[in-house]
Amino acid sequence: MRKQIVSIFMAAVMAGMALSGCGKTADGGSSSSSPTNSGSEQQESSGMAGAEAVNYNETGTLKLIWFASNGTDTMFQCPWDEDQCMFSQMIFDTLIKMDTDMSYIPKLAEVEISDDQMTYTFNVSDQAKWHDGEAVTGEDVLFSMNAYLADAKAMYPNYFTSVQGAAEVKGGTSESISGVTVDGNQVTVQLTQPDNTLLLGLCSLQILPKHCFEGVALSEVATYEDYWKRPVGCGAYQIDEVSFPNYFTAVRNETYYGPRAAIKNVLFTSYATGGNDAIVAACAAGEIDYAFGNAVNDKATADNIVSQNTDMESVMIPSSYVRQLRFNTSGESQDGKYNDDMLKTEVRQAMNLLIDKETIAGMYNGQAVALSSIINPGSAAYNADIPIFERNVEEAKKMLDEAGFDYSRPVRLLYYYDDQTTVDIMEIIKQNFAEAGIVCEPFLITGDTATQIFETKNWDIMYCAGGDKADPVLGYYYIVPDGANVDKIFGDVEERNEIFGKLYKEYIGSSDETEKKVLGDKLQLADVQNCYDSDIYALNKVVLVNTAKLKMDMSVFDVDLQQQREYHFENWELLRE
């Protein structure tokens, strides 16, 4: 076997282990809406002027947002299900992470990969311990992988598709992944085919303590209240004080197996009651030091915050998140009104040419960029041989006529976002199509959207999201035959497998970056030529950092890797209280 990742574990285990209850409720937490300052006893006397500089890392508090999509009323949210809170990065650890240079580095484990890339061997650090003092073991890793696949809300189960026996656990027919074996602190993962996405998945899989879930069904791990009242992790920070639904505090894990976090105290405040407006107001008031997620992921909002609080810096992250039109090429709809012109490649290409992508992208005040393929043109993965998109109404008309397009039949455009910007975009697309004589009928769906999209299929084109992967080329997973929902709307299984499936399989099976670039370029070209979708714009992400108070390595924002990136908390620094 060849060693793929070199260990960087440097820190020794320190004495004085702090214990926290496993599976206990937060009975030690205050019921007030304001936290105590657990670091106050460490403060240096301000009366000793000129004696010694204040170490704000010890006396100050890093202020962050406590966000949970299911609320903060009674318990914490499992990090497998939500990635808009630093709680998941600070309290828990994963086996590996991706560094700022896109290389994989160890966290809980070193990894060796066999020459045929079918076997991954993880050696869990024997220095790693849970916050309750118990050792982290290989059994914890297997338990976490099983429970993750059994969690219906887990965000990245597709990254484990090639693990032998993963499908059976996800489908509920097995309790344990047959391809994963444990021998002490060594965990061996066997694949059914080479698949480089496994490492990305493991960057996102926070390991949980098996001993805290005795007798709990795998499918209930993510919502087991006794544990999530006060979760025990093995990360650089551990939970200190909890006050549902208002806030919780975390303190540095002094016995951490890796490089010790520099900042001692962290305050997570919930703004669930006031919602996004409350988060924006808190940022403007200087009450948050680092903010990301839906509340601030809007350039106009971020610019407004910075105008009110000049200590805040807005950072734009190149993103693989896209909005696109997907064509129903299944050849059917339940109501019998399906427009079979969608089956013609030339028609789909013509409709793509009609869309005023620049105008639509411009609605996001410089945050969005018009697309030629699903890959952001600002990404290193973009195929430079594909021309930057230019709208061409006359060419589109010519293509429609040559394809024998039936102008008497309307085209039904389904969308499921109900914000005003989306409504405006639907009107733009309707007008764009009208310029070529196409009658476009946008309509909003609510309720059981999955059934309406994949089962009844009473639509011809769908406006939806795509991409949003750590590796942007992996965004093409949505068009590869899957024997499930993808095939229900695209059809042409054999054709798509020939065009996309084989290339995608080669891509995820390669570990050679040069080869992957060639394969990624081929996938993009196939996308443009076959036009099963029309990629409209990529929406870059926005984060806010109080750079007057918090010093951190801003290169962590060079790539959109919220869940997968290594934050290096040992390098964070408070510049003031």
3-state secondary structure 413-444: EEECCCCHHHHHHHHHHHHHHHCCCCCEEEEE
Spatial CA neighbour of 356 closest among 396, 304, 391, 314:
391
The strand order across the sheet containing 247-252 reads 61-66, 265-270, 247-252, 237-243
| Average pLDDT score, the chain | 90
Neighbours of 69 (CB within 10 A): 13
Per-residue pLDDT averaged across 80-101, rounded? 94
Spatial CA neighbour of 231 closest among 250, 257, 247, 216:
250
Please tell me what DSSP assigns to residue 129: B
Residues 218 and 168: beta-carbon distance below 8 Å: no
Token pair in block for residue 178: 């047959």
Spatial CA neighbour of 166 closest among 182, 185, 180, 187:
180
For the chain, which domains are there?
2-315+543-574 (3.40.190.10), 321-539 (3.10.105.10)
Residue 445: burial class (beta carbons within 10 Å; 0-12, 13-18, 19+):
middle
Q: Specify the pLDDT at position 318.
A: 82
Q: What's the CA gap between 562 and 200, in Å, rounded?
A: 12
Residues 236 and 263: beta-carbon distance below 8 Å: no
Residues 160 and 195: beta-carbon distance below 8 Å: no
**541-555 pLDDT, tens per residue?**
999 999 999 999 998
Token pair in block for residue 575: 């510049």
Binned at pLDDT 50, 70 and 90, residue 240 comes out as very high
Chain length of the chain? 577
Binned at pLDDT 50, 70 and 90, residue 127 comes out as very high
Spatial CA neighbour of 264 closest among 35, 46, 61:
61
Binned at pLDDT 50, 70 and 90, residue 47 comes out as very low
CA distances from 167 to 29, 176, 248, 472, 502 (A): 41, 10, 37, 24, 21
Q: What's the CA gap between 81 and 261, in Å, rounded?
A: 25
Per-residue pLDDT averaged across 555-559, rounded? 85
b or e along 100-139 (b: 16 or more beta carbons within 10 Å of the residue's beta carbon)? beeebbbbbbbbbbbeebbebbbbbbebbbbbbebbbbbb
Name the residue with tokens 């993103």.
Answer: 319
Q: Is the pLDDT reported for residue 131 higher than 90?
A: yes
Q: Specify the pLDDT at position 2.
A: 42
Q: What's the CA gap between 269 and 85, in Å, rounded?
A: 11
The region of weakest confidence among 43-57, 103-117, 223-237, 312-326 is: 43-57
Count the alpha carbons within 13 Å of 164 in the hemisphere toward its beta carbon. 14
**477-532 pLDDT, tens per residue?**
889 887 778 889 998 899 999 999 999 999 999 988 899 999 999 999 999 999 99
**414-452 pLDDT, tens per residue?**
999 988 999 999 999 999 999 999 999 999 999 889 899
Return the amino acid letter for 406.
Answer: D
Q: What's the CA gap between 462 and 429, in Å, rounded?
A: 12
